[in-house]
Homo-oligomer: A and B are copies of this chain.
Amino acid sequence: MLRKVKVKDVMSRNVISVPPTEDVVFAFEKLMKHKISSLPVVENNKLVGIVTATDLGHNLVLDKYEIGTVVEKVMVEDVACVNPEDDLLTTVRKMNEYGSDEEIINQLVVIDNNHKIVGIVSDGDIIKAIKI
């Protein structure tokens, strides 16, 4: 089943992003407001990084950021991506490969052949697609 369904069939198409200069506090508020768990960081229409609610929330609560820290300083630059035509098996493998022994990557950015961001696909989207 995971081989038959494509990323484009299950991904969220409404992608909310932030510029590299966004304050981490505003970025976190944006994540919470929209109930999303990660924000692609975009500069000149190009994906340059990603920040997650888990990381920002953890560091903000533990007071680990200096006042005025921007997302560029704390973002993950090596963003795990998939193509909209990839199948869900490929997606599951990437979530595991890009993750650590402890934790998978819960969300992958979906990039088309022109390097344009067209969606986000999450572990929840995949579970939702498994109808057996």
Interface residues of chain A: helix, strand, loop or mixed (majority): helix
Question: What range describes how many residues of A lie at the interface?
Answer: 20 to 34
Stretch among A43-51, A67-75, A119-127 lining the B interface: A119-127
Among B2, B61, B93, B106, point to the contact of A124 (Cβ < 8 A): B106
Q: Show 9 A/B contacts (Cβ-Cβ < 8 Å), sorted by A.
A: A32-B57, A33-B58, A53-B57, A89-B132, A95-B127, A104-B128, A123-B124, A123-B127, A127-B127
Chain A residues engaging chain B, CB cutoff 8 angstroms: 2, 29, 31-33, 35, 53-54, 57-58, 60-62, 89, 92-93, 95-96, 99, 103-104, 106, 122-124, 126-128, 130-132
